[in-house]
Structure 1
Amino acid sequence: MDSTSTDNLAKTDDATEKKNFILRVIQPGLAGLMDGSVSSLAPLFAAALSTRNSHTAFLVGMATAVGAGISMAFSEALSDDGKLSGRGSPVNRGLVEGAMTFIGAAGHALPFLIPYFKTAMTVAIAIVVVELFVIAWVRHRYMETPLGKAAIQIIIGGVIVFLAGIFIGKS
């Protein structure tokens, strides 16, 4: 084999390895992070604003994080066995997606351990902003989505769900 053939074989192996990493880790992790970060906004902030109690908001946020993490883990693990799609072990994908869902939802629930409601709320909102930009960056880095487009898409979705939580919490 000449060096050109060896180089092409190495490039093919690298491309396959990258594709498998995206299919088996990044995609389920990104789906989990998006679900955990965005879908938990409405219940957490509705509970926070309706009770104005940090402890209650924390409990609702953590219950949402645990429930969503378990649900998404099972959903991903049972969605396909990985044989037809090439997405790898359903158990591994489920664990990745479930863990990232939990992390995404717990991230903005943890500030409600701060007993001062206004401080907790301010920190939680700041964490949501960071989470949304992290999601946009991961989409840009691994899914080859232009950063501006990824940020706009994620921010629009996050803002809509956040506003729903505010609207429900203040009613």
Structure 2
Amino acid sequence: MQYQWAEDDFLPVGVFRLVTDHPQNGKTYVMYHGTTRENAESIMASGFEQSEDGMLGQGVYLSRDLQKASRYPLNHPEWDRVVLKVVVNVGEVIAINYQHHPLQKTWHDYGYDTAWVPPNCGMVRSGLEENCVWDPEQIQIIKAIEPLLQTNYGHFVFIL
């Protein structure tokens, strides 16, 4: 089966669509978080929690790229994936643009609120951007997005 991720074009007032390469300090952006259906339900009920570790250390991993988020969790059936659409005030942002960057996992200790991995910098296999937000309170959930099933006839139906 093939799936397609649908997204509407509506942006809340004061939220910016990706217009610059680097997220700007203090701005609010629409971002996405890919997870399982079960985890999405838990996050929507209780909010995000920091991961204990990862490429950028502790935090909540997000992307401004829906296609990046729709790949997660990796090696998990696509039918059981959900992408949470969120709004994030990024606060102070640092670019972590190469492996073994001196602040790769300690950026928050130096006053940054978000670590940003630029696209095509060699940090992520897909070449797509990634963000790690330290404080889950900076993230507001808008909605859950589920994949659309593509039929053999080129039609799409929602998976309920």
TM-score by length of 1: 0.24
Structure number with higher helix proportion: 1
